[in-house]
Chains A and B, each alone.
Chain A
Amino acid sequence: MKLALVVQRYGLEINGGAELHCRWVAEHLKKYAEVEVLTTRASDYITWKNSYSRDEEDVNGIRVRRFPVVRTRDPRRFGRLQEWLLGHEHQEADELRWLDEEGPRAPALIQYLKDSEGAYDYFIFFSYRYYHSYWGIKTLPRRSILVPTAERDPVVGFRIFQDLFRTPRAIIYNSVEERKMINDVSGNHSVPGDIVGVGTEVPGRYSGEAFRQKHKLSGPYVLYLGRIDENKGCHKLFEYFLRFKRESGSEVKLVLAGNTVIQVPSDPDIHYLGFLGDVEKFDALDGAEFLVMPSFYESLSMVTLEAWALGKPVLANALCDVLKGQCLRSNGGLYYETYPEFREALSLLLSSPRLRVVLGENGRRYFEANYAWDVIEKKYLALLNRMEKEKGA
């Protein structure tokens, strides 16, 4: 079987979101099928500026074909258009204009898909909201599998996407909540699909102690991993954490790692460590009391799964239905909506090592039952086999 995974960006430098999800799936499926990745030359998700120069290359044993982006994104123009669309009655043509503005506009990629339909058995598209998925699935509806990685973002209600969610041969969802949301907005109950998600690569060795020594951290700390951004709820996290510190006098520290979009408050109890590599990320998790996940919009939250893989509990934002659902299903973390709930949950987790251990263990079991790579691979293969059988019938 020959599979093409189609994604907006691809590379070892891109270490998050649907792109990393795609890379991990590609690297795991290559055991069972011939896998190629079709992507753009962009590495920056804001402008989609072409930065990879080669048309073809090998990335961790996967053949990657790159196609040029013909127009970079103007974030301000795009933002204005999106704002207008979300607030006004509009036509489908306006939404298609929005899709063009969003990009990454790579018509050569779509032409390649059209020309090489017979060369691949299935095309797996990652991220529903970009140009490549919309036009790619429209070009090859009968061979397409969509991995939407959809968050509870208002654009999911656009009419063009209602149609898109009804078009592919199958859909691979990340969570129960994502499936329900997409079913609700598009009525695509008849499109076959499964809730699969993605696994994670836990390094063989990690050491919280080494991490503490390296960064001179003493005493307990809670960890936030990911982009430090308003959309990720970081502003609320800072506000709640500093208020908690003022009111409780606790010695706990907040350690942050990831790229910054907003300013990190200058406070002795908040440590910003910049971007951490894969191994160091697990060292940081190992040393933490638990992970805090304040994001409002998540389709899965890979970092939450990584915490559970290490047996660490999670304190999540309950306003994100996926995070709340995952905590309830796993019994692996607490959640909060308001400051009093944040304070109580944080106090409870900090004061009860036993609770942390039990929640972490529940999280680990949940991870192993649902998100270990052999489970994920089996689900992908089962779906592909089902489609093959349907094709044969």
Chain B
Amino acid sequence: MEGEKIAIDYDRVDVARIMEQIKDKTAAEAAVEFPARGTAAAPAAGIDFAAGLGKGRRVLLKIMSPFAPLIKLFILPVHEELRRAVLILDHANRRIDRLEKERERIDRLQEYTKLLHHLCHNLVVEISKLKIEEETLKTKARIMEKDFGFLEKREKALEKDILK
């Protein structure tokens, strides 16, 4: 349990810095803790790591230090972390599913909007055509009215000529 001392600047205490040192200290120890636990059930290499063997222990620690993260992964109670990670992933997954459905819905809406746009465009074209046609028909009607007026006058003139 003894180990390097944790350096603290009391004038400016930084919790993050203290925790980094604690983590560094305990990470090295975690490498020892794994075989120590193992020896309790079955003394694998015949060395009691928990008791500490002075120089031999330090040498072993040094040799094992590159594997510390891996050992930590296997021995630390990561199940809680894993459970939480799985839950977060599950939520993320559901959210992605929902977003995917939402995207499909938006795609469909986009297609529908395009169709509506075409429809509007065609309606505008048709209405324009109808408007032009209406104008033409109005003009034709006016011409016919004039022709009718002329024919009326002519009819009256001819009637006068005949009655004379």
Q: Does B94 contact A (CB under 8 A)?
A: yes
> B26 near A348 (CB under 8 angstroms)?
no
The stretch from B13-21, B63-71, B135-143, B145-153 touching chain A is B13-21
Known: A159-B98, A185-B91, A348-B18. A331 touches B26 (CB 8 A): no
Whether A343 touches B98, Cβ cut-off 8 Å, given contacts A328-B16, A331-B13, A355-B8, is no
Is A299 interfacial (CB-CB < 8 Å)? no
Q: Is the contact region of chain B dominated by helix, strand, or loop, or is it mixed?
A: helix
Instruction: Say how far B74's CB is from chain A's closest CB, in angstroms.
Output: 13
Which of A26-34, A124-132, A334-342, A375-383 forms contacts with chain B? A334-342
Q: Please tell me which one of the listed residues A152, A247, A335, A343 contacts residue B19 in the complex, with CB atoms under 8 A apart.
A: A335
Give the Cβ gap from B50 to chain A, nearest Cβ, in Å.
10
Closest CB in chain B relative to A100 CB, distance in Å: 21
- Decide yes or no whether A213 CB sits under 8 A from chain B: no
Total contacts A-B at CB 8 Å: 68
Give chain A residues whose Cβ lies under 8 Å from the Cβ of B22. 334, 341, 344-345, 348
| Interface flag for B73 (CB, 8 Å) | no
Interface contact A333-B15, CB-CB below 8 Å = yes
Q: Which residue of A lies closest to B21 (CB)?
A: A344
Q: Could you say which residues of chain B place their CB within 8 Å of the CB of A341?
A: 19, 22-23, 26
Q: How far is the CA of A296 from the CA of B80 in the complex (A)?
A: 10
Q: Which of B1-32 contact A (CB under 8 A)?
A: 1, 6, 8, 10, 13-16, 18-19, 22-23, 25-26, 29-30
Residues on A with C-beta less than 8 A from B6 are: 344, 348
Number of A interface residues at 8 Å Cβ cutoff, please give it.
31
B48 at the interface (CB under 8 A from A): no
Across the interface, name the chain B residue whose C-beta is closest to A156: B91
**Given A334-B18, A340-B30, A355-B91 contact (CB < 8 Å):** no
Closest chain-A Cβ to B159's Cβ sits at a distance in Å of 80
Query: Does A154 reach chain B (CB closer than 8 Å)?
Result: yes
Cα(A345)–Cα(B19), bound, Å: 8
User: Binding site of A, secondary structure by majority: helix, strand, loop or mixed?
Assistant: helix
- A-contact bits for B82-110, CB 8 A (1 contact / 0 none): 00100100110011001000000000000
Q: B77 an interface residue at 8 Å Cβ cutoff?
A: yes
Q: With A154-B91, A319-B80, A352-B8 in contact, is A331–B15 under 8 Å at CB?
A: yes
A338 and B10 contact, CB distance less than 8 A: no
> Contact at B13–A340, with CB atoms within 8 Å?
no
Q: How far is the CB of A103 from chain B (nearest CB, A)?
A: 24
Q: Is the CB of B26 within 8 A of A355?
A: no
Asked if A140 is at the interface of the complex by the 8 Å CB criterion, the answer is: no
A229 to B157, CA, bound (A): 117
A344 and B26 within 8 A (CB): yes
Given A157-B94, A344-B26, A352-B8: A358 in contact with B13 (beta carbons within 8 A): yes
Please, which residues of chain A bring their CB within 8 A of the CB of B90?
Answer: 154, 157
Is the C-beta of A362 less than 8 angstroms from some C-beta in chain B? yes
- With CB as the reference atom, state the residue of chain B lying closest to A186: B95
Cα–Cα, bound, A270→B8 (Å): 30
- Quick one: closest B residue to A296, CB to CB? B80
Closest residue of chain A to B80, judged by CB?
A319
A86-B88 Cα distance, complex, nearest whole Å: 11
Contact (Cβ within 8 A) A185 B14: no
Q: How far is the CA of A335 from the CA of B22 in the complex (A)?
A: 10
Partner of A338, one of B18, B26, B84: B26
Q: Is the CB of B8 within 8 A of A328?
A: no
In the complex, whether A327 has a CB less than 8 A from a CB of chain B is yes
The answer to whether B51 has its CB under 8 Å from any CB of chain A is no
User: Per a CB cutoff under 8 Å, which of B1, B13, B19, B33 touches A355?
Assistant: B13
Chain A residues with Cβ under 8 A from B80's Cβ? 296, 319
Shortest CB distance A166–B (Å): 13
Binding site for B on A (CB under 8 A): 86, 152, 154, 157, 159, 162, 185, 247-248, 296, 319, 327-328, 331-335, 338, 340-341, 343-345, 348, 352, 354-355, 358-359, 362
Top 8 closest A-B pairs, CB basis? A157-B91, A340-B26, A344-B22, A358-B13, A331-B15, A154-B87, A341-B26, A340-B29
New A-B contacts (18) at CB < 8 Å, excluding given A334-B19, A335-B19: A154-B91, A157-B90, A159-B94, A185-B95, A247-B1, A327-B15, A331-B15, A334-B22, A338-B26, A338-B30, A338-B76, A340-B29, A341-B19, A345-B19, A354-B10, A355-B8, A355-B10, A358-B13
